[in-house]
Homo-oligomer: A and B are copies of this chain.
Amino acid sequence: MTMLNAITISIGDELLSGKTTDSNNAFISQQLGLLGIAVSKKLIIGDINENIKKALNWSLNEADVVTITGGLGPTHDDITKVALCEYFGVGLTTYPDLLEKLKERFAKRGFKFSESNISQAEYPENAELLYNSVGTAQGMHFFHEGTHLFVMPGVPREMKAITTEHIVPILSKLTGAITEHVDIHCTGIPESTLYELTKPILDEYQGLKVAYLPKHFIVAIRASFNSAFGGENQAKLDEIFSRIQSLLPKNVFGKDEDTLASVMGNTLLSKQATVATAESCTGGLIASLITDNSGSSDYFKTGYVTYANETKMSMLNVREETLIEHGAVSEETIAEMLSGTLKNSGSDYAIAVSGVAGPTGGSEEKPVGTVYIGVADNDHQVIRRFQFGTERIMNKALSAHTALNLMRLFIMGELS
């Protein structure tokens, strides 16, 4: 079986200047990957006609599939269509049906249809249009000297709709191969140790590709097979996951789309139990991560964001003496936050967090990044002190992830 090879190109000065991060290529790569089409290169270039034409020439010569996103909206930095016409030596033509649809769409929303929008009904003569169900800029398909070229607007929602509705169906006719993978999510273990411990198992599998992807306190082991190299891959990936989970039961918390919050939630569901949160320095982030999961209302009813001392007292019955004597960032305050949360929410489990997120508020004894995290049920509490870094947003994220992991281990009886 021939493996098709793809190049993805993103166009936009804003992607080069660095204030905007390109997320489109990630989605396109995933979709192509599922079809067994490997992206060999990604290129990001600016809104410069000459560079777009050079990129077209290079990519169409080198790849079987080329995708381009960006440069198709109503504003004057949109020049992809012009570059396509010049490259292919064709003109732009107005699609009358499209013009009508655009006018209707504007009218429905109560917006005025303006001159600058007419260009959105004009496309290169040799394009097969891929209709955009969620926006006004259409996608295009070209077949040029054996290469499929797809051009889409850069707005992620529109790119996703065109990819799913048009490009995947077109390409799935060309290829049968599928790359299957599993992401094994681990926490509480450094990448190098994880590598050494898991290598003997992973080396047993012929044709397996492995990558270690660290992010915050989590490392994902991505293990993948391409079906061009043989069958039964999903069964092998399941086996690999089970073996690594048995090897490191405390560290491996899930796979693929699992997050610490979703895994904690499923553990609660299986016990028909509920959790409540009491957050100071994380400011609602833990509750937000929990409620990112559909169905979380079954195990999460109540969150307290007690950002001020008076709120810790009024909502969670933390005593004023405790706050004066030990401070809001202390084991003693966390202990009372946990008790108050359990009592007032009626939940089975409680999470409480208080710390110095920074950049201000640190002291010698409790520098920026000092965070106390507690988990409890009605029988006992576990409270730990952590020292994270100096960046506020990062400290919030690390505190929230650590709290979710402690709660997960606590529910499973693996935290003492």
Partner of A111, one of B179, B193, B310: B193
B311, A302: Cβ atoms under 8 Å?
Answer: yes
A39, B18: Cβ atoms under 8 Å?
Answer: yes
**Which of the segments A88-96, A139-147, A262-270, A280-288 contacts the partner chain?**
A280-288
Say yes or no for A384: interface residue by CB 8 A criterion.
Answer: no
A109: chain B residues within 8 A (beta carbon): 190
A31: chain B residues within 8 A (beta carbon): 18
Say yes or no for A386: interface residue by CB 8 A criterion.
Answer: no
Say yes or no for A30: interface residue by CB 8 A criterion.
Answer: yes
Known A-B contacts A18-B26, A30-B17, A42-B44; A305 and B292 likewise in contact (beta carbons under 8 Å): no
Say yes or no for A374: interface residue by CB 8 A criterion.
Answer: no
Bound-complex Cα distance A353 to B393 (A)? 24
Say yes or no for A301: interface residue by CB 8 A criterion.
Answer: yes
A26: chain B residues within 8 A (beta carbon): 18-21
Bound-complex Cα distance A13 to B213 (A)? 10
Bound-complex Cα distance A199 to B76 (A)? 10
A191, B304: Cβ atoms under 8 Å?
Answer: no
Bound-complex Cα distance A17 to B116 (A)? 37
Sorting the interface of chain A by its residue count into under 10, 10 to 19, 20 to 34 or 35 or more gives 35 or more
- Kindly report which residue of chain B lies nearest to residue A13, judged by CB atoms: B211
Partner of A290, one of B27, B211, B283, B297: B283
Closest 3 CB pairs of A and B: A283-B291, A303-B305, A18-B29
Instruction: Show 28 residue pairs from A and B whose CB-CB distance is below 8 angstroms, ordered by the A residue.
Output: A16-B42, A17-B29, A18-B26, A18-B31, A19-B213, A21-B23, A40-B45, A41-B43, A42-B44, A43-B43, A73-B191, A73-B212, A114-B192, A114-B193, A114-B196, A116-B195, A155-B214, A279-B287, A282-B288, A283-B296, A284-B286, A284-B290, A288-B396, A292-B392, A294-B358, A295-B360, A301-B308, A311-B345
- Interface contacts beyond A16-B38, A294-B360: sample of 13 additional A-B pairs, CB < 8 Å, sorted by A: A13-B211, A18-B33, A19-B26, A21-B26, A40-B46, A43-B44, A75-B195, A77-B210, A283-B296, A287-B288, A294-B358, A303-B307, A304-B305
A residues with a Cβ closer than 8 A to B are 12-23, 25-33, 38-47, 51, 73-77, 109, 111-112, 114, 116-117, 155, 179, 181, 183, 190-193, 195-196, 199, 209-214, 222, 224, 277, 279, 281-288, 290-292, 294-297, 300-308, 310-311, 315, 345, 357-360, 392-393, 396
